[in-house]
Amino acid sequence: MKKYLYICAIVLMTALLAIEYGNTFSSVSAFANAGGKKPIYKVDTQEKKVAISFDAAWGADKTEKILDILDSYEVHATFFLVGFWVEKYPEMVKEIDARGYEIGNHSQNHPQMSKLSKEQMKKEITSVNEKISALINKTPTVFRPPFGDYNDCVIETMQELNMHTIQWSIDSLDWKELGKEALVSRVLKKVECGDIILFHNNAKYTPDALPEILEELQARGFSVCSVGELIYKENYFVNNQGIQKENLR
Protein backbone atom coordinates (compact mmCIF):
# COMPACT_ATOMS: atom_id res chain seq x y z
CA MET A 1 0.00 0.00 0.00
CA LYS A 2 2.82 2.40 0.92
CA LYS A 3 4.56 1.64 -2.34
CA TYR A 4 1.34 2.34 -4.26
CA LEU A 5 0.86 5.69 -2.47
CA TYR A 6 4.48 6.61 -3.15
CA ILE A 7 4.08 5.92 -6.88
CA CYS A 8 0.86 7.97 -6.96
CA ALA A 9 2.63 10.86 -5.24
CA ILE A 10 5.44 10.80 -7.80
CA VAL A 11 2.97 10.77 -10.70
CA LEU A 12 1.04 13.67 -9.18
CA MET A 13 4.19 15.70 -8.60
CA THR A 14 5.34 15.10 -12.17
CA ALA A 15 1.98 16.28 -13.49
CA LEU A 16 2.08 19.42 -11.36
CA LEU A 17 5.60 20.25 -12.52
CA ALA A 18 4.54 19.74 -16.13
CA ILE A 19 1.71 22.24 -15.65
CA GLU A 20 3.88 24.73 -13.78
CA TYR A 21 6.77 24.65 -16.22
CA GLY A 22 4.89 23.82 -19.37
CA ASN A 23 6.15 26.86 -21.25
CA THR A 24 9.80 26.28 -20.43
CA PHE A 25 11.51 23.68 -22.59
CA SER A 26 8.11 23.51 -24.32
CA SER A 27 7.29 21.35 -27.29
CA VAL A 28 10.57 19.51 -27.11
CA SER A 29 10.36 16.96 -29.86
CA ALA A 30 9.41 13.40 -29.10
CA PHE A 31 12.45 12.54 -31.19
CA ALA A 32 14.80 14.13 -28.66
CA ASN A 33 17.46 11.91 -27.09
CA ALA A 34 16.15 10.56 -23.78
CA GLY A 35 19.63 10.32 -22.28
CA GLY A 36 23.28 10.90 -23.06
CA LYS A 37 24.61 14.10 -24.59
CA LYS A 38 22.41 17.19 -24.75
CA PRO A 39 22.32 20.19 -27.04
CA ILE A 40 22.02 23.68 -25.59
CA TYR A 41 18.43 24.46 -24.62
CA LYS A 42 19.25 27.54 -22.56
CA VAL A 43 22.19 29.22 -20.85
CA ASP A 44 22.82 29.58 -17.13
CA THR A 45 23.55 33.29 -16.77
CA GLN A 46 22.81 36.05 -14.30
CA GLU A 47 22.79 38.63 -17.10
CA LYS A 48 19.33 39.75 -18.16
CA LYS A 49 19.57 38.59 -21.72
CA VAL A 50 17.66 36.20 -23.96
CA ALA A 51 18.25 34.99 -27.50
CA ILE A 52 15.60 34.97 -30.20
CA SER A 53 15.84 32.71 -33.21
CA PHE A 54 13.94 32.06 -36.42
CA ASP A 55 13.92 28.78 -38.34
CA ALA A 56 13.63 29.25 -42.10
CA ALA A 57 12.64 26.31 -44.28
CA TRP A 58 9.54 27.22 -46.27
CA GLY A 59 8.60 30.64 -47.60
CA ALA A 60 10.10 34.08 -47.14
CA ASP A 61 7.17 36.49 -47.54
CA LYS A 62 7.36 37.79 -43.98
CA THR A 63 11.12 37.74 -43.52
CA GLU A 64 11.84 41.31 -44.58
CA LYS A 65 9.11 42.65 -42.30
CA ILE A 66 10.60 40.67 -39.42
CA LEU A 67 14.00 42.18 -40.20
CA ASP A 68 12.49 45.67 -40.20
CA ILE A 69 10.92 45.04 -36.79
CA LEU A 70 14.18 43.71 -35.35
CA ASP A 71 15.99 46.75 -36.75
CA SER A 72 13.48 49.16 -35.22
CA TYR A 73 14.02 47.70 -31.74
CA GLU A 74 17.79 47.49 -32.23
CA VAL A 75 17.98 43.85 -31.16
CA HIS A 76 19.97 40.92 -32.49
CA ALA A 77 18.71 37.49 -33.55
CA THR A 78 19.74 34.23 -35.22
CA PHE A 79 18.23 32.80 -38.39
CA PHE A 80 18.66 29.04 -38.81
CA LEU A 81 18.50 28.35 -42.55
CA VAL A 82 17.77 25.12 -44.41
CA GLY A 83 19.91 24.50 -47.49
CA PHE A 84 17.07 24.42 -50.00
CA TRP A 85 15.82 27.74 -48.56
CA VAL A 86 19.29 29.22 -49.07
CA GLU A 87 19.22 28.03 -52.68
CA LYS A 88 15.79 29.55 -53.30
CA TYR A 89 16.36 32.87 -51.51
CA PRO A 90 20.07 33.77 -51.85
CA GLU A 91 19.37 37.51 -51.83
CA MET A 92 17.47 37.19 -48.57
CA VAL A 93 20.42 35.33 -47.05
CA LYS A 94 22.61 38.27 -48.00
CA GLU A 95 20.05 40.71 -46.61
CA ILE A 96 19.89 38.93 -43.24
CA ASP A 97 23.66 39.07 -42.99
CA ALA A 98 23.93 42.65 -44.24
CA ARG A 99 21.61 43.80 -41.48
CA GLY A 100 23.88 42.23 -38.90
CA TYR A 101 21.96 39.11 -37.92
CA GLU A 102 23.56 35.77 -37.20
CA ILE A 103 22.99 32.94 -39.66
CA GLY A 104 22.89 29.37 -38.39
CA ASN A 105 22.63 25.99 -40.08
CA HIS A 106 19.33 24.05 -40.08
CA SER A 107 20.49 21.16 -42.37
CA GLN A 108 20.24 20.77 -46.13
CA ASN A 109 17.02 18.75 -46.48
CA HIS A 110 15.33 19.04 -43.05
CA PRO A 111 15.65 15.33 -42.14
CA GLN A 112 15.47 13.49 -38.83
CA MET A 113 19.16 13.75 -38.08
CA SER A 114 19.22 10.79 -35.68
CA LYS A 115 18.31 8.44 -38.53
CA LEU A 116 21.39 9.41 -40.56
CA SER A 117 24.88 7.97 -40.50
CA LYS A 118 27.73 10.19 -39.35
CA GLU A 119 28.81 10.73 -42.96
CA GLN A 120 25.28 11.66 -43.99
CA MET A 121 25.09 14.10 -41.08
CA LYS A 122 28.33 15.74 -42.14
CA LYS A 123 27.11 16.05 -45.71
CA GLU A 124 23.84 17.63 -44.55
CA ILE A 125 25.73 20.25 -42.57
CA THR A 126 28.80 20.99 -44.65
CA SER A 127 26.79 21.47 -47.84
CA VAL A 128 24.76 24.22 -46.15
CA ASN A 129 27.84 25.81 -44.61
CA GLU A 130 29.45 25.93 -48.04
CA LYS A 131 26.37 27.52 -49.64
CA ILE A 132 26.12 30.16 -46.92
CA SER A 133 29.86 30.86 -46.96
CA ALA A 134 29.77 31.35 -50.74
CA LEU A 135 27.07 34.01 -50.30
CA ILE A 136 28.29 35.96 -47.25
CA ASN A 137 31.87 34.77 -46.69
CA LYS A 138 30.98 33.53 -43.20
CA THR A 139 30.58 29.96 -41.99
CA PRO A 140 27.84 29.16 -39.45
CA THR A 141 28.96 28.05 -36.00
CA VAL A 142 25.52 27.13 -34.61
CA PHE A 143 23.25 24.32 -35.77
CA ARG A 144 19.63 23.53 -34.95
CA PRO A 145 18.47 19.98 -35.75
CA PRO A 146 15.15 19.79 -37.62
CA PHE A 147 12.21 18.68 -35.46
CA GLY A 148 14.47 19.02 -32.41
CA ASP A 149 15.64 15.52 -33.30
CA TYR A 150 19.09 14.51 -32.08
CA ASN A 151 21.16 11.74 -30.53
CA ASP A 152 24.70 11.48 -29.21
CA CYS A 153 26.09 11.07 -32.72
CA VAL A 154 24.48 14.33 -33.88
CA ILE A 155 26.08 16.31 -31.06
CA GLU A 156 29.44 14.58 -31.45
CA THR A 157 29.41 15.23 -35.20
CA MET A 158 28.66 18.91 -34.67
CA GLN A 159 31.52 19.12 -32.18
CA GLU A 160 33.83 17.60 -34.79
CA LEU A 161 32.68 20.35 -37.17
CA ASN A 162 33.33 22.98 -34.46
CA MET A 163 29.64 23.80 -34.21
CA HIS A 164 27.26 24.18 -31.27
CA THR A 165 23.99 22.21 -31.35
CA ILE A 166 21.14 24.52 -30.33
CA GLN A 167 17.60 23.71 -29.21
CA TRP A 168 15.21 26.13 -27.46
CA SER A 169 13.73 26.65 -24.02
CA ILE A 170 10.64 28.59 -25.15
CA ASP A 171 8.68 27.56 -28.23
CA SER A 172 6.35 30.26 -29.54
CA LEU A 173 4.39 27.61 -31.49
CA ASP A 174 3.86 30.35 -34.08
CA TRP A 175 3.50 27.73 -36.81
CA LYS A 176 0.21 26.61 -35.22
CA GLU A 177 -1.34 30.00 -36.10
CA LEU A 178 -3.17 30.31 -32.77
CA GLY A 179 -3.34 34.09 -33.05
CA LYS A 180 -1.27 37.06 -31.96
CA GLU A 181 -2.32 37.14 -28.31
CA ALA A 182 -1.70 33.43 -27.79
CA LEU A 183 1.76 33.83 -29.28
CA VAL A 184 2.61 36.84 -27.11
CA SER A 185 1.34 35.16 -23.95
CA ARG A 186 3.21 31.94 -24.60
CA VAL A 187 6.55 33.67 -25.11
CA LEU A 188 6.30 36.11 -22.20
CA LYS A 189 4.71 33.82 -19.63
CA LYS A 190 7.86 32.44 -18.04
CA VAL A 191 10.75 34.07 -19.87
CA GLU A 192 13.92 34.34 -17.79
CA CYS A 193 17.62 34.98 -18.15
CA GLY A 194 19.37 32.72 -20.65
CA ASP A 195 16.29 31.53 -22.54
CA ILE A 196 16.43 30.71 -26.24
CA ILE A 197 13.14 31.56 -27.95
CA LEU A 198 12.00 29.79 -31.11
CA PHE A 199 10.08 31.51 -33.91
CA HIS A 200 9.69 30.81 -37.63
CA ASN A 201 10.45 33.32 -40.36
CA ASN A 202 7.21 32.86 -42.25
CA ALA A 203 4.61 32.13 -39.55
CA LYS A 204 1.37 34.06 -39.98
CA TYR A 205 1.18 36.00 -36.71
CA THR A 206 4.87 36.40 -35.88
CA PRO A 207 5.28 39.88 -37.41
CA ASP A 208 2.17 41.07 -35.53
CA ALA A 209 3.28 39.64 -32.19
CA LEU A 210 6.97 40.47 -32.36
CA PRO A 211 6.75 44.22 -31.52
CA GLU A 212 4.73 43.58 -28.37
CA ILE A 213 7.09 40.80 -27.32
CA LEU A 214 10.21 42.90 -27.87
CA GLU A 215 8.71 45.93 -26.12
CA GLU A 216 7.82 43.87 -23.06
CA LEU A 217 11.18 42.11 -22.95
CA GLN A 218 12.96 45.45 -23.06
CA ALA A 219 10.57 46.89 -20.47
CA ARG A 220 11.53 44.03 -18.16
CA GLY A 221 15.19 44.92 -18.63
CA PHE A 222 16.16 42.10 -20.98
CA SER A 223 18.77 42.51 -23.67
CA VAL A 224 17.71 40.59 -26.79
CA CYS A 225 20.62 38.97 -28.57
CA SER A 226 21.62 36.27 -31.03
CA VAL A 227 22.30 32.70 -29.98
CA GLY A 228 26.00 33.19 -30.67
CA GLU A 229 26.07 36.15 -28.30
CA LEU A 230 24.26 34.24 -25.56
CA ILE A 231 26.14 30.95 -25.37
CA TYR A 232 29.54 30.28 -23.85
CA LYS A 233 32.12 29.46 -26.52
CA GLU A 234 34.66 27.77 -24.25
CA ASN A 235 35.11 26.49 -20.68
CA TYR A 236 31.55 25.24 -20.39
CA PHE A 237 29.52 22.09 -19.95
CA VAL A 238 25.91 21.18 -20.74
CA ASN A 239 24.03 19.40 -17.97
CA ASN A 240 21.45 16.64 -18.36
CA GLN A 241 18.68 19.24 -18.70
CA GLY A 242 20.36 20.91 -21.63
CA ILE A 243 21.42 23.96 -19.65
CA GLN A 244 24.80 25.31 -20.67
CA LYS A 245 26.88 26.33 -17.65
CA GLU A 246 30.21 28.07 -17.34
CA ASN A 247 32.95 25.76 -16.11
CA LEU A 248 34.55 27.72 -13.30
CA ARG A 249 37.13 25.09 -12.36
- Output the CA angle 185-143-114, nearest 5 degrees: 100
Which are the contacts of 92, defined by CB distance < 8 A and separation ≥ 6? 60, 63, 64
**Catalytic pick among 76, 106, 164, 200:** 200
- Helix (H) / strand (E) containing 40: none
- With b for 16 or more beta-carbon neighbours within 10 A and e for fewer, the 86-95 pattern comes to beebeebbee
Which of 55, 171, 174, 195 is flagged as catalytic?
55
Say whether 200 is catalytic: yes
CA distances to 28, 81, 139, 170, 220 from 106, rounded to whole Å, are 16, 5, 13, 18, 31
Dihedral of CA atoms 224, 194, 78, 233 in degrees, nearest 10, equals 120
Q: How many residues does the chain have?
A: 249
Q: Which residues are catalytically annotated?
A: 55, 200
